[in-house]
Structure 1
Amino acid sequence: MRTYGQYCPIARASELLGERWSTIILRNILVGCQTFNEIAEGAPGLSRGLLSRRLRELERAGVIVIRPKPDGHGSIYEPTPAGRELSQVMIALETWGRRWAELKPEHAHPGVVLWVWANFFLDRDRLPRRRVLIRFEYPTLPQSARRSWLLIEHGDAEYCLKFPGGEEELIVVVHDPLAFARWHMGLVTWREALRAGAIEVQGAPTLARALPTWNRHGWATDDPRSRFEPTLTGHTAAEA
C-alpha cells in the first residue's frame, strides 16, 4: 500500500480507502455481503486476484475480520468496530454523489444496476408468489458479461451470474445501459425507456407489465442510512 508520507489523519485514512476498489469492496461488506462471491457480484470488472489482495489489506488495517465458514469451505468477511464506523463515510459519499456526481455512460454497468435492484430496491410486496426466472441481456458488454438472471422465489429475489435452471418467462434486453440506470434511479419512466428503444422486453405480457412495478426507485426516496443499518446499529461476529 502506498503512503502519502503525511501524519494527517485524512491522508492516512486515504491510503487505505483511496486504493482502487477498496471503497467498493468495503461498501459491499457494510451492506451485508459476507462471502467472496457475494462481494464479487457487486464489483464486476474486479479480478478475483485483486479482490483477494484488497481483502487482505482491509484485514491488516483492522477494518474487516476474515473467518472460516462453519463447514470449512471458504471464508466469511465481516466489519470490525473500526470498519463499522466507516458506514458514516459511505453515507456521506452517497449523499454527496447523489447531489454532485454526474451519471455518465461509463458508470452504468447494467449488471450492477440489476444487483443493486435485487438487493436493495426491489418491492418484495409486489413480487409473484411463485417461482419466476427473468433473463437480462446486455448486447453492449463483452461476450462473457452479456447475461445475468433475476430469480424470484419464495417472495424474495436473487441476482444470478450463472443460469439457475428453469423456464425463462421474460427476456429483458438492455440496449442502453445508461437509460436502464436512469430508470432504476427514477429519472425516466419505463415507458419512456421502451419507446426510446433503450429496453426491449420479450415474454408474457402480464409479467412484462408487472416487472417495472417492482422497482421502488429508492435512490430518490430512501435515507442512505437504511442500507447501512445493520452495521450502524447491529452486533457482528467480528466483535465476539
Structure 2
Amino acid sequence: MTLCAATSVNVAATMRALEASLRQIRFGACRLLTDAEVSPAHPEMEIVAIAPLRSSAAYSDFLLTRLPDYVATTHCLVVQWDGHLIDAGRWQAEFLAYDYIGASWPQFDDGHDVGNGGFSLRSRRLMELCRDPAFVVVHPEDVAIGRTNRAWLEAQGMRFAPRDLADAFAAERSGEPHRTFGFHGVWNMPCAIGLEAFWQIYCQLDERGTLKRDFRSLLRDVANGPRGMSRAARMIADRYLK
C-alpha cells in the first residue's frame, strides 16, 4: 500500500498528517506530491515534484487523471492535511477486499453513500479506470467516483465497501474518530488529535478556506480549551480581518 497526499497548500500540515500515519504503519511507499520545496522529517517520506495545484478543482482532476502515475502498489491510502490514520489497531484485512472505501455520506440514502475521498483507500485498478474515456470527470473527485460514476465502475467489476465497513474505516460527517481507523474533516480534529495539536496545526495553515463551513463549531471547541478566549479572538480576526 502507498501512503499518498497531493497538495500545493498547507504543506506543513499535510506532512504532519503523513507523519502521523507513518508512526503507526509501515507502508510500501509514502509520497507527498507537491510543488513546494520542502524536506521531509520522516526518512520514509518521499517528496515528488508536481505542477502547482491552484484550485480544489485542479486537485480533483489530478487525483482522477494523474495519481496512478505515482502508485506502484495494489492500493493507495489517500490522506489530506485534515484527515489521516488515527488507530492502526482498528485496521481490518477486509478493507483490502474493496476497490474504494471512505467515510460514508449521511446526506445520501440511495445506496451510493461511500464515500469521502479525503481519507480513502483505493485500488490501483480503480484509479486506472478513472482515466478511462468513459469515466465522467467532475469535481469533487470523490463524488465523481462514489456517485457520478459508481454504477459504471461497478459494471467494470469495482467493489465499493458497504456502509458499515466504511464507518469502521473512517469518520467524517458521521461516526466518532476515536472509534475508527482514520478520519477526515477539520471539524473532527479537536476530538481526533486534541485541541492543543489542532491549534498548533491551525497556526501553520496558509489556506483556511475549508474551515468556513464549520467555523462556529471549531470556534466553540477552541474557546472551551486552553487560552480559549485569546485563541478564539485570533480565529475571528483571521477570518474577518485578513
TM-score (norm. length: structure 1)? 0.31
TM-score, length basis structure 2:
0.31
